[in-house]
Structure 1
Amino acid sequence: MDNRELHILLVDDDEVDVMNVQRAFQKNRLANPIHVATNGLEALEKLRDGSIKGARRLVLLDLNMPRMNGIEFLRALRADPELQTTSVVVLTTSNEDRDKVEAYRLNVAGYLLKPVTFVDFVDVMGTLNKYWTLVEMP
């Protein structure tokens, strides 16, 4: 595993949204490995089990999920000394102020609303790629 390569952990229970992210990556010619978890518990397990440990990681996090939602995941992530510095960008349909405030209180790197059209989705993923290639991430 190349520790300089940025691995994306996409945490989303909606199969269509997962496919849209994957297709948007392809359209933008992004080669970053994408790992998928369908809820916060599964995401924590993937981060802890060693499959992407040691790699540079970025979590793309939906908030509305079963079992453990995005805010609960962020609380658990920030409470874990091994994972607390993991970079997280929220990618959600929730435009609720309380969700935004709580996400930023839990140190997310950004809060993005999921675009309605696929063309806009491609643009958002392209912009996000520009961001993570410019920012120094652990």
Structure 2
Amino acid sequence: MEVLYIEDTPEDADLALRSLRKHNLVNEVKLLEDGQAALDYLFGEGEYASSGRGKIPRLMLLDLKLPKISGLEVLARMKTDDQLKHIPVVVLTSSNEDVDIKKAYALGANSYIVKPVDFQNFAEAIRQVGLYWLVLNEPPSNT
């Protein structure tokens, strides 16, 4: 899998996915709508217990303001796991509060982007994120 996207706003998720696909930046995206589902998927728990851990993505796009468990809690838990801590995490959120920005970076976020309100600017931000993290960035090998 290339991208794990955790986003609870359907309009934002749809726009981001359309932008990534329009620019041929991804083939496979797993979309989850809350923090608990993200942790269950990543750790093979809850509804994913029978199938084990999900595929490890090349990139995670993570909203902070999620139902059930916050994005910051998801980030904190995944960064303590040896198999998951190297996944680049781009926080993509509406919060521009300094406390959220500092906390996200302290927990291991690789980038923090405040979602542009404008449709075109949001689509362009997603394109740039995808281009950098999925095309230009060289991740470590899985060996």
Give the TM-score category using the shorter length. 0.7 to 0.9
Once the two structures are aligned, what percentage of the paired residues are identical?
A: 36
Structure 2, unaligned runs of 5 or more: 44-51
Q: 1:137 aligns with which of 136, 139, 143?
A: 139
Q: Which one has the bigger strand percentage? A: 1
For 1:11-50, what aligned pairs fall within 5 Å after superposition? Answer: 11-48=6-43, 49-50=52-53
Q: Secondary structure at the match of 1:90?
A: strand
Residues 22-70 of structure 1: per-residue CA shift (max 9 Å, x gap): 12123323233110111122112222334313xx421100000111011
Is 1:40–1:73's contact at 8 Å kept on the other side of the alignment? Answer: yes
Q: Say whether 1:98 aligns with 2:99.
A: yes
Please give the alpha-carbon distance, in whole angstroms, between the structure 2 residues aligned to 1:73 and 1:129.
21
- Comparing 93-102 with 73-82, greater Cα deviation is found at 73-82
- Partner of residue 52, structure 1: 55
Residue 128 of structure 1 aligns to which amino acid in structure 2? V
Give the TM-score normalised by the residue count of structure 2: 0.83
CA RMSD of aligned residues (A): 1.6
Structure 1, unaligned runs of 5 or more: 1-5
Give the TM-score normalised by the residue count of structure 1: 0.86
Residues 85-132 of structure 1: per-residue CA shift (max 9 Å, x gap): 221000000000000000011111100011112211221122112211
Please give the alpha-carbon distance, in whole angstroms, between the structure 1 residues aligned to 2:104 and 2:29.
22
Change (3 A) 1:26 1:11: same
Instruction: Work out the number of aligned pairs and report it.
Output: 131
Shift of 1:81: 2.5
- Comparing 116-125 with 91-100, greater Cα deviation is found at 116-125
Please give the alpha-carbon distance, in whole angstroms, between the structure 1 residues aligned to 2:130 and 2:71.
22
